[in-house]
Amino acid sequence: MRKLRLPATACAAALLAGCAGPATRTDTVTAAPVMAPPLVVAVAPSATTPMPSSTLDRIRRLAPGLDPGVLALALEARACALRNGEVDDEAKLAVIDYSRPSTEKRLWVFDVAGDALLFNEHVAHGSGTGDNIAKRFSNEDGSHATSLGLFRTAETYQGGNGYSLRMDGLDPGFNDHARSRAIVMHGAWYANPELIRTQGRLGRSQGCPALREQVAKVVIDTLKQRQLLFSYADDAAFLQRGRSFACDGRSAGQILAAARAGTLGAGAAVGAVAAP
């Protein structure tokens, strides 16, 4: 991945102009008094329910509401990142399915190595991407749009949106401008699902995956420092030209179809993600 080098002043300007929320609050949301703890769902083997053999089968049991094709593509991207030395075997995996509306919980965070679901949350998309339904995606500065593909998480910092997590995009042409665009994970009042009742959707960011404030810090601390986030949508360009999931020669269509049909196919990397 090409590393971007910016002067300190340019970096500061980018962070200030990057992923901010709406300028004014038009709705009042009452904050929860206690920060939400992690959701931990684990499937343990037993005499009557043996653990499935493949990673995809094991993780699917933790999140039956997640499209198995999207999960398979995300696990394939993780396997490729392991193979390329981008992360280590213990790397956690966040999956966002932007083909779902903002009114649904469309972020899942998995401890793949430990076979556990840690979080299932609402997440906002960029104002340049659509209203309730995400339709347009971009890698360009000023688009205020969400980017697709695999991200590797990096350091945290305190910025204009509070505690935030920087990310580096690993899909050239689709998200590799993430750092220069200041596309980060952060908490935001407009990502509170209480707003769905009053406006029919979450609020929108300037391209960042924004979470409700009550859970943002614990999710960020779980995902910081060389973990992975995979952002998916039914976007033809990304599915045809995205590279993060393509290291074993199969296309996105083949991976999606095999997982949705319940067959991984010979040589599928998701069955052996622990071996880079």
CATH classification of the domain holding 140: 2.40.440.10
Number of H helices, E strands in the chain: 8, 9
Which tens digits make up the pLDDT trace of 4-51? 444 444 444 444 446 754 434 544 444 444 455 666 665 544 433 343
Range of the domain at 61: 33-44+51-263
In a domain, 137, yes or no: yes
Asked whether residue 4 is assigned to any structural domain, the reply reads no
Q: What is the pLDDT of residues 119-158, one digit of tens each?
A: 999 999 999 999 999 999 999 999 999 999 999 999 999 9
Asked, for residue 15, whether it belongs to a domain, the answer is no
DSSP letter for each residue of 45-110: --SSSPPPSSHHHHHHHH-TTS-HHHHHHHHHHHHHHHHTTSS-TT--EEEEETTS-TTS--EEEE
How many other C-beta atoms can be found within 10 angstroms of the C-beta atom of residue 145? 24
Res 87 pLDDT > 80: yes
Average pLDDT over residues 180-196: 98
Q: State the total domains in the chain.
A: 1
Residue 5 lies in a domain: no
Amino acid at 37: P
Q: Is the pLDDT of residue 169 over 50?
A: yes
Residue 221 lies in a domain: yes
Rounded to the nearest angstrom, the gap between the alpha carbon of residue 197 and the centroid of all alpha carbons in its chain is 25
Q: SS3 for 263?
A: coil
User: In sequence order, which ranges of 84-191 are alpha helices (DSSP H)?
Assistant: 178-181
Query: pLDDT for 218-274, tens place per residue?
Result: 999 999 999 999 999 999 999 999 999 999 999 999 999 999 998 544 334 443 333
Partners of 111 in beta bridges: 116
On whether residue 60 sits in a domain, the answer given is yes
Task: Please report the pLDDT score of residue 262 as a whole number.
Answer: 84
Q: Which pLDDT score, from 0 to 100, does residue 5 have?
A: 44
Q: What is the mean pLDDT of residues 203-210?
A: 98
Q: Which residue, 68, 3, 73, is CA-closest to 244?
A: 73
Q: Would you state the pLDDT for residue 22?
A: 46
